[in-house]
Structure 1
């Protein structure tokens, strides 16, 4: 049976908190991402006050597209939920949220006239925030498809009914796979990639490309509804977007942008003072 927030916090008052388990971890993930973003902005000297509007654009765009990313599920528009129903009760889409955040950043930059690249600030922040936020998904959503073996997450009848999963059958812990991916991505970005001689903003492009490929593969054990030819809707979306991201990286390789990628950069002024 999945724990409540009160069970997770091990406090007698926890069960009375008006906060859902999923929402709690999403909030913690956003806070963790915010701390990493601020640290990186200061380390890189990007302290222009307009950066706050860029962050707001990312949050607003991400929130809107996360909620509306699963809206158009049917070709016949009459079969889809109304706008109000989707906003109030619709499923959330991480992929939609990432697209919305990207659009929100670009709109905010255009409005404020901020020209500096911000991908290197968002890359470690988003990776850590996703890792934390996915804990909420692990504790409240369908874990994955049956493993076919004796290992995996096994749900009792109550938890299975709440998540739409089979009871008493070991299931793939697909969200554990994703948490591990984002933690590994954060480690690579934080301790290695951010100290390489990459063009501004490219660490985020690499992170998005890696996550897109990983997400396409993990969808096979996620348990989402199959939409076409054995593929889920997220996989169909990724089939259209992965080539675009990889083509951008290939274009950068061709023009020699990554020629010095293996060369470590020197310490910043703040790091020398510390």
Structure 2
């Protein structure tokens, strides 16, 4: 475990915060690269209003990422105050993604920007998530016990800090997630232009939801209902909406290009 990168002037520099910040920077770089790629492929300049959408995404993601874990108990009195939650509460990637999505929609409505933006955001989010999760791998509970040789074994001090058994191989659940996001990034770059405009983000989020639901069984989060964790219950609540959107878009032929060869796509275009 490496919770701190360094201490500068008596101020501790957290590993998790630094890597999450670097993940945001990487996501911004990939976003700009995607915007330039889209400009070259379409011959049209990127609308300046897109940066307002980016700002809405960041604000929405930051707000809900921090406050999204507030309502953990049915009785509001058992939950922290909103100020306590903001200052000391846990962050949630899932609620952060929902907040970012909502922030983008609100920004688009306010600015009148109507073009789909999912193709720009999907690779950027995948790249940022892959790097940000390295911070989680180095500072948080790796996962549940496993008999596999690739498990992570913690010493007594590190195990006590995250509430894990010492000397027992644990699933490196965050490493699994890093691998998922890297693979997703490669696939997104490969299939861009082969699905309807804006659909890369839909496919990425649906795939991540399915993956995250499965990996939760070895993540080590608290089981709260019917053998499921809070993230799994959260995902189940949103699953019908995601499924409806994908089926609706598939019926419109949004993903038909996935089943064509690149040469066939060039002939159609």
- TM-score normalised by L of structure 2: 0.91
In 1, Cα distance between equivalents of 2:89 and 2:26: 26
Alignment of 1:247-258 (within 5 A): 247-258=244-255
Kindly provide the CA deviation profile for residues 193-234 of structure 1, in whole angstroms up to 9, marking residues without a partner as x. 1141x1111011000000000000000000000110110000
In 1, Cα distance between equivalents of 2:156 and 2:182: 31
Kindly provide the CA deviation profile for residues 99-155 of structure 1, in whole angstroms up to 9, marking residues without a partner as x. 000000001001111111100000000000000000000001000011145541011
Alignment of 1:40-51 (within 5 A): 40-45=34-39, 47-51=46-50
Q: CA deviation at 1:17?
A: 7.0
SS in 1 for 2:85: helix
Kindly provide the CA deviation profile for residues 8-35 of structure 1, in whole angstroms up to 9, marking residues without a partner as x. xxxxx88977421001100111111000
**Higher relative strand content:** 2
The gaps in structure 1 that reach 5 residues or longer are 7-12, 267-274
In 2, Cα distance between equivalents of 1:14 and 1:178: 31
In 1, Cα distance between equivalents of 2:148 and 2:180: 23
**Equivalent pair of 1:5/1:14 in contact (CA under 8 Å):** no
Q: Which residue of 1 aligns with 2:31?
A: 37
Alignment of 1:43-192 (within 5 A): 43-45=37-39, 47-149=46-148, 151-190=150-189, 192=190
Kindly provide the CA deviation profile for residues 47-69 of structure 1, in whole angstroms up to 9, marking residues without a partner as x. 21111110000000000000011
**Equivalent pair of 1:64/1:100 in contact (CA under 8 Å):** yes
Kindly report the root-mean-square deviation, in angstroms, between the aligned alpha carbons of the 2 structures. 1.8
**Equivalent pair of 2:224/2:230 in contact (CA under 8 Å):** yes
The gaps in structure 2 that reach 5 residues or longer are 40-44
User: Structure 1 residues 15, 131: closer, same or farther in 2, change over 3 A?
Assistant: farther
Q: Does 1:21 align with 2:15?
A: yes
**Equivalent pair of 1:144/1:222 in contact (CA under 8 Å):** yes
In 2, Cα distance between equivalents of 1:34 and 1:105: 15
Picking from 231, 238, 259, the partner of 2:256 is 259
Q: Which residue of 2 aligns with 1:270?
A: none
Q: Which moved more, 1:208-217 or 1:143-152?
A: 143-152
Q: Which residue of 2 aligns with 1:207?
A: 204
In 1, Cα distance between equivalents of 2:149 and 2:52: 50
Query: How many pairs align?
Result: 258
Q: Does 1:223 align with 2:220?
A: yes
Q: Which residue of 2 aligns with 1:194?
A: 192
In 2, Cα distance between equivalents of 1:246 and 1:135: 30
- TM-score normalised by L of structure 1: 0.89
